[in-house]
Structure 1
Amino acid sequence: MSSNSSVSSKETILEKTLGSVATFSDSDISSIQITTQKLNGRNYLQWAQSVKIVICGRGKLGYLTGELKPPTQSDPTHKNWLVENSIVLAWLINSMEPEISRRCLWFHTAKEVWELLTVYCSIKIRSNLEKERVFYFLAGLNRNIDDVRGRVVARDPFPSPEDAFAKVRREEM
């Protein structure tokens, strides 16, 4: 079977399913993984930029931004919107590590997933930066208070930079 007849059969199946409403390229369907860099919670900025570049290049950025709002169910373009939104959702979900993608499976729009990830990852990034600040602060302390350093690091939950400073200061006095 030639590639042209394979494309033709995909179009025929889609036309039967969607009533020949959807218009999207073969690359939209065949390439369900859009980036080799999977979101793992620590690489959000790089992941988000690479995902946005690919999705924008495929003309679907409006599904992330909310610019392409879902039409009413009676609107003839509704089926097309559902198909394209589902493709963008699949791209997003397939570009994440499983522990993150599981949280996104029940959302209905790519925009909802994008917003969730923006909030979730910015919280994780902020938390990681605070931990780094505590470690830098503790690393700069004199050796004579190693025991204080150990107690601060062992705290659960991990202390904020302000809490770590206060703990060290109390111990010093």
Structure 2
Amino acid sequence: MSKSSNTSSALTLDSSNPLYLHPSDHPGMILVAKSFDGTGFGAWKRAMTIALLAKNKLSFVNGISITPTNPSFLAQWQRCNDTVISWILNTLSGDISASVLYTETAHNLWVELNDRYGQVNGAKLYQLQKSICAISQGSGDIATYFTKIKAIWDELNALNSIPPCSCGVSHLLAKREEVQRLVQFLMGLNSSYDSIRGNILMMKPLPSISEAYAILIQDENQREIHSTNIFSTESSSMNANSRNSYSRFENMKSEVCTHCKKSGHTSNKCYRLVGFPKDFKFIKTKRFSANNASSEADVTEQKEQAPLGLTSEQIGDLLQLLQKSYS
């Protein structure tokens, strides 16, 4: 067997091998949507880790896949290493990309970015803890509020992860931390959720954050259904009242008085027959109907014939008494 045939058989790689490159794997690929500009390193690192793991190339950045000693695989390893470097550079901003452009291996590039941006410091922890204390539901719904606080929790986990152990202490610490975060989540709810919040805190044992979130979402949905029913009932009542008022108005328009020939009332309620109320006010207009003119003339005549509240007969009697007294 020739040397070229041995090399060809050696380079026949399975798709599960980290040195295998799919035909679609090219250096210009962008694995994550948001580029890294120096802020939010934890989120960018998490997204890149997921993408590289999906491509089966995470071993090139964590140092597991090192330069092979077999010359037959050296060229293929270099192709994979340069491809991973290109993928990382494609997600960095221009200044950061230029500062790490000459790094030889993907592992060294990954370590340099971690040393530069991934160090945990007191200022970052202070900022995250302050954000936790200041966040609340406000005018948003439960889902929006939970998404905001969950993002801060995830960033804290990336900075302060609890290492696993065989004694079970890590499990107890994780449980205590979950209880603290449940209380933080409930503290930020609006006062309208005081009742359901009290019910959750009285549960023994305390529910997980996911269970408490499901309970609150169910309560929120019930509130929306109840408010929708109330609104529908009020709208139906308003429509019914409007229809009744319109019907009464139409009925009044159809009524015509047989005495004054005006619409809106009948003869048994006509003021010209039953008398005008004491607080009734006549409104003078430029145009009068024959009935209005005659009615106002009658009222004026009555006023002229009855000054000071006296009738015409009383005035005649008074004049006779005056004549007798001067005769």
User: TM-score scaled by structure 1?
Assistant: 0.58
Letter in 1 for 2:92: M
Name 2:99's counterpart in structure 1: 103
Name 2:31's counterpart in structure 1: 34
Letter in 2 for 1:116: E
| 2:105 maps to 1:113 | no
Letter in 1 for 2:44: W
RMSD: 2.8
CA shift digits 1:3-51 (9 cap, x unpaired): xxxxxxxxxxxxxxxx894741123117521111111111110100000
What is the distance in 1 between the residues matched to 2:68 and 2:123?
40
Name 2:46's counterpart in structure 1: 49
Q: Flag the 1:119–1:127 CA change in 2: closer, same or farther, 3 A.
A: farther
Letter in 1 for 2:86: A
What is the distance in 2 between the residues matched to 1:108 and 1:117?
14
Name 2:121's counterpart in structure 1: 126
Letter in 1 for 2:37: N
Alignment of 1:81-160 (within 5 A): 81-123=77-119, 126=121, 129=124
CA shift digits 1:36-84 (9 cap, x unpaired): 1111111110100000101100111100111000124x61000000000
| 2:75 maps to 1:69 | no
What is the distance in 2 between the residues matched to 1:30 and 1:81?
14
What is the distance in 2 between the residues matched to 1:80 and 1:120?
30
SS at match of 2:24: helix
Question: Which moves more between the two structures, 25-34 or 37-46?
Answer: 25-34
CA shift digits 1:108-142 (9 cap, x unpaired): 1000000000010024x638538959xxxxxxxxx
Letter in 1 for 2:89: I
SS at match of 1:77: helix
Q: Flag the 1:65–1:39 CA change in 2: closer, same or farther, 3 A.
A: same
Aligned match for 1:79, one of 71, 75, 78: 75
SS at match of 1:87: helix
Name 1:59's counterpart in structure 2: 56
Letter in 1 for 2:109: V
Letter in 2 for 1:111: H
Which runs of 5 or more residues in structure 1 are unaligned? 1-18, 134-173
Q: Flag the 1:110–1:68 CA change in 2: closer, same or farther, 3 A.
A: same
- How many residue pairs get matched? 115
User: TM-score scaled by structure 2?
Assistant: 0.32
Letter in 2 for 1:59: N
What is the distance in 1 between the residues matched to 2:38 and 2:121?
11
Q: Which has the larger radius of gyration?
A: 2
